[in-house]
Amino acid sequence: MKPKKLTILTKIQIAESREKVFHTVANARDLSKFFVSEASLNLETGNHVIWKFPEFKSMEVKVKVIKADSPEIIVLNWEGAENHITTVTFKFTAIGNDQTLLAIKEEEMLNNEHGIAWLARNTEGWANFLASLKAYLEYGINLRKGAFEFLKYDDS
C-alpha cells in the first residue's frame, strides 16, 4: 500500500558547532553566501522573508517563519510547490565536539504525479542546500556560484 502523503527528509553532518550552523542558516547575510542571492530578513519567529535566487532572474520566494528557536529548530512555511504551501523544518542536533547534524524535513504533498515531481525537485534542492552549507562552513566555498549558469541556455 503506497502512502497517501509524501514527505522529504534529508540530513548532513557539518563540522561546526550547532550554534554556528544555526546562525549561518538563520542570518540573511550568511544565507546569501551559499544559498540565495538575497534574503530580505533573518529567519526569526514571525518574520516574512523574501528569498531571491541567483539562477532564476525574477524568482522571489516568500517565506513565513513560524518558529526560530536558537540553536535547535527553524520552522517555516513557503510555496513549496505551485499553489501549495508546505512546512519546512530545520532541526539542529549537536553530535560530539563541534559537530552538528542538520536535518531538513519538508511536508507534505499528495502521492500523485504532481507530488512525485515536487518530491524529486525539492529533495534535490534541499540536498544542494545542505552540501552548499557544508562547503561554505567547512571550506569557505560557495558551491552555488556559477553552478546554475547553464539554466540561461537550457531548453529542456
Helical spans, DSSP H, in the chain? 18-26, 28-31, 113-139
Q: Which amino acid is at 38?
A: E
Number of domains in the chain: 1
pLDDT on residue 135:
96
80 lies in some domain: yes
pTM listed for this prediction: 0.92
pLDDT on residue 89:
98
Three cell numbers written together for 41: 530578513
CA distances for 134 relative to 69, 111, 121, angstroms: 21, 31, 20
pLDDT on residue 156:
54
Three cell numbers written together for 152: 540561461
156 lies in some domain: no
2 lies in some domain: no
Q: Which parts of the chain sit beneath pLDDT 70?
A: 1, 54, 56-58, 151-156
102 lies in some domain: yes
41 lies in some domain: yes
pLDDT on residue 51:
94
pLDDT on residue 72:
98
- Domain housing 35: 7-150
CA distances for 19 relative to 6, 26, 75, 112, angstroms: 30, 10, 16, 38
pLDDT, tens digit (0-9, with 9 covering 90-100), for 117-144: 999 999 999 999 999 999 999 999 998 8
What's the CATH number where 62 sits? Answer: 3.30.530.20
Return d(Cα 153, Cα 150) in angstroms, integer.
5
